[in-house]
Amino acid sequence: MSSVEKPSNKGQAWFCTTGLPSDIVVEVDDMSFHLHKFPLMSKSRKLFNLITQQESNQTNSIQPQQQHEQDEIDEDEIVEEQCHVTFTGFPGGPEAFETAVKLCYGVKIELSSSNVASLRCAGEFLEMTEDYSEDNLVSKTERFLSQKVFKSIKDSIKTLKSCEVLIPLAETLGIKQRCIDSIISKASSIDPALFGWPANEAGASNDRCSTSKQVLWNGIDPSTRRKCVNAIMNEDYWFEDLTLLRFPLFKELISAMRSAELNHELIEICVMHYAKKYIPGVSRSIRKPLPLTSSFSSSSTEAEQKELLETLISNLPLEKSSKPSTATRFLFGLLRTANILNASEACRKALEKKIGLQLGEATLDDLLIPSYSYLNETLYDVDCVERILSHFLESLDARNVADEEGNDGAGTSPVLMIVGKLIDGYLSEIASDTNLMPDKFYNFAISLPDEARLFDDGLYRAIDVYLKAHPSVSELEREKICGLLQCEKLTLEACTHAAQNERLPLRAVVQVLFFEQLQLRHAIAGTLMAAEAAAVEPESHSAAALEEEDDDREGLRLELGLELDGAPHVQEGSSTWRSAVRDNQVLRLDMDSMRTRVHQLERECSSMKKVIEKIDKSGLHGGAGGGWRASLGRKFGCKFKTQVCDSHESTVVDTRKTRHQQQRQHHPHHE
């Protein structure tokens, strides 16, 4: 069999080394192939027709008067000079034609997912069909597509990638659409629950170690789902292969996925990978704006990046992902990039709405979105976060309505408490911005519902930071901002700190002092109730024990028919009774002492109120160096320990549940 090769150092010429001189030259783009007519004509109907036509035209063009001179010319030279074929726009270029030529010469060709589409188009172009010659190029490539490519999502993506330079012929032959259908079919069979499966499980499948070395993942034996894991992991993260597609083809694929109602989490992962590849700025988690030159690749302009970003966002599913922790950070990265590129309002609104659906998965660093607009004087984009919070509350209200209609009860959602803590932390961060106006701080803080805060310690900390960073705020604005606080929702630690906070207005401090005394009273009352319960329990327990002991002794006496001496029994019972009475008397003395202390505290609180009223009437205010606080300390001997209020301290969190129950029991009476 003849060998066919492409010499490496002969410029743009390709020669067939069969030992015979070539009788036809085929030009494909800028490459010249020096070949032989017979092998080409035996496999390609198109080349057969072209060569036959040229030979016919060549014979008819010879004039009679030149017949004698033409007969003396060697026939091989005539063929070599005049049999010349040129192909422009050949599908697959010189590489595809070279492979087709090898098949014509009987050389075994190697098909792959990357070249099968171009060879299928080349076979169609050259008319290398089965009805012309057996085991021809068209039948070989179709068989490879059906048996190899369309059975693997990774190979289908590679073949789809190769179709980009073969359009429109690849579309006419249906190769592109068949690749898209194959990808969707394989992707739809993947269990979304396996998206978070450990990646090292794929390598473990090839390990023939004993089963004792296998570990559980979330309590599930990996061997029970080994086939499903291998089906995904053996694809070597086919999501990354999608990023090799040009954007028009990727967009067409995503649209087909959405039309096929593919799992929205899978679509979201595909878009995430593509955006991270071509919009590098979305992968950065930073608090300060970046220049465009460092955020985006230099190969594309700002307008191209903007168009790409807006198209990707428009193809993001609006549904909330079941595992949105990574997606949430990615969405915030897209939002930052959209602000940098000044994307359309519809684009940013869609992002904000989607982020609002999963705000409970966000972190404080995610919310710290820099302000890229020169019209906004604040360091962070507070308006954007306020809109995101609004979308979250709207979605939460919709879910509560659905729960009520389903008779499941609305209640306070746990995610609302998480978001409340997150927003209070955000308030504390932005409070130190000197350009943040009091009205904006107040409106943002009040936008969170009251039930989102079990305790107002986080809000108090934000208010304290704001008043410290804005000393020029008027007294009226101070009172308005402090009016956000519900003093009954402050812990004892927060009340102690607020009672001696010089930045708070007088009215707020008076309310704090009142509720601080109220909390002390409730705490003492709870201690008394516990003491009374402890006093009753030993007494009843002793009486029950004596009665049970008498019953046991009487039953034993009747069963044995014996007369037992009762003296020891009476003596033992009398001793136990005297001990119980003695303990009861001690407890009563302790209770009397506690009651006396409560009365003293009530008198002190009443006196304190009168003094404060006098100070208020006399026109003294908290701004006068804290003199009224000092007078209170001298009059009543009240000394409060200064401490920083932090709602995230473990001591505060651990005692919240008990204090909240006590407040609900006693507040209605005092209101």
- pLDDT confidence bin for 648, thresholds 50/70/90: very low
The whole-angstrom separation of Cα 343 and Cα 148 is: 43
Paired with 23 in beta bridges are none
- Structure tokens, 1: 């069999």
Flag whether pLDDT at 662 surpasses 50.
Answer: no
SS3 26: strand
Flag whether pLDDT at 203 surpasses 90.
Answer: no
Q: What is the pLDDT of residues 234-289, one digit of tens each?
A: 444 688 889 999 999 999 999 999 999 888 888 888 888 898 888 867 765 444 44
Most confident among 22-26, 399-403, 554-558 (mean pLDDT):
22-26
Average pLDDT of the segment spanning 80-96 = 83
Specify whether domain 12-57+82-183 bears CATH 3.30.710.10: yes
Lowest mean pLDDT, pick from 37-51, 293-307, 532-546: 532-546
| pLDDT for 82 | 55
| CA 542 from centre of chain | 61
pLDDT averaged over the chain?
75
The whole-angstrom separation of Cα 379 and Cα 519 is: 39
Q: Smallest Cα–Cα separation from 515: which of 541, 489, 483, 533?
A: 489
Q: What is the DSSP letter of 490?
A: S
| pLDDT for 541 | 56
| pLDDT for 537 | 60
Most confident among 441-445, 575-579, 603-607 (mean pLDDT):
441-445
Flag whether pLDDT at 481 surpasses 50.
Answer: yes
Flag whether pLDDT at 43 surpasses 80.
Answer: yes
- Structure tokens, 312: 């990707």
SS3 217: strand
SS3 6: coil
Alpha helices per DSSP H over 341-470: 345-357, 364-367, 382-405, 414-430, 438-446, 457-469
Paired with 87 in beta bridges are 28
Flag whether pLDDT at 660 surpasses 70.
Answer: no
Q: Smallest Cα–Cα separation from 457: which of 425, 410, 433, 416?
A: 425
The whole-angstrom separation of Cα 394 and Cα 578 is: 67
The whole-angstrom separation of Cα 39 and Cα 316 is: 53
Q: Is the alpha carbon torsion for 661, 663, 665, 668 positive or negative?
A: negative
| pLDDT for 265 | 84
The vertex-20 CA angle with 18 and 21, nearest 5°, equals 120
CB–CB of 44/35 below 8 Å? no
Sheet containing 84-87: order of strands: 13-15, 31-35, 24-28, 84-87
The vertex-324 CA angle with 319 and 330, nearest 5°, equals 100
Q: Smallest Cα–Cα separation from 425: which of 365, 371, 370?
A: 365
Paired with 32 in beta bridges are 13, 27
CB–CB of 645/461 below 8 Å? yes
| pLDDT for 225 | 46
Flag whether pLDDT at 366 surpasses 90.
Answer: yes
The whole-angstrom separation of Cα 179 and Cα 177 is: 5
The vertex-641 CA angle with 639 and 647, nearest 5°, equals 140
| pLDDT for 175 | 96
What b-and-e string marks burial along 397-430, b requiring 16 or more CB atoms within 10 Å of the CB? eeebeeeeeeeeeeeebebbeebbbbbbbbbbbb
- pLDDT confidence bin for 600, thresholds 50/70/90: confident
DSSP 221-257: -GGGGHHHHHHHHTT--HHHHHTTS-HHHHHHHHHHH
Flag whether pLDDT at 417 surpasses 50.
Answer: yes
Lowest mean pLDDT, pick from 36-45, 326-335, 547-556, 611-620: 547-556
Q: Smallest Cα–Cα separation from 274: which of 243, 241, 239?
A: 243
Residue entry with tokens 């932090």: 646
Lowest mean pLDDT, pick from 118-122, 280-284, 368-372: 280-284
The whole-angstrom separation of Cα 498 and Cα 512 is: 7
- Structure tokens, 669: 């009476």
The whole-angstrom separation of Cα 124 and Cα 173 is: 9
Lowest mean pLDDT, pick from 122-131, 385-394, 431-440, 661-670: 661-670
Helix (H) or strand (E) segment spanning residue 579: helix 567-617
The whole-angstrom separation of Cα 123 and Cα 167 is: 15
Average pLDDT of the segment spanning 402-409 = 61
Q: What percent of the chain has pLDDT over 90?
A: 36
What b-and-e string marks burial along 444-463, b requiring 16 or more CB atoms within 10 Å of the CB? bbeebeeebbbbbbbbbbbb
Is the peptide bond preceding residue 449 cis, with omega within 30 degrees of 0? no
Q: Is the alpha carbon torsion for 648, 649, 654, 655 positive or negative?
A: negative
- In terms of pLDDT, which residue wins out, 619 or 458? 458
**Domain range list for the chain:** 12-57+82-183
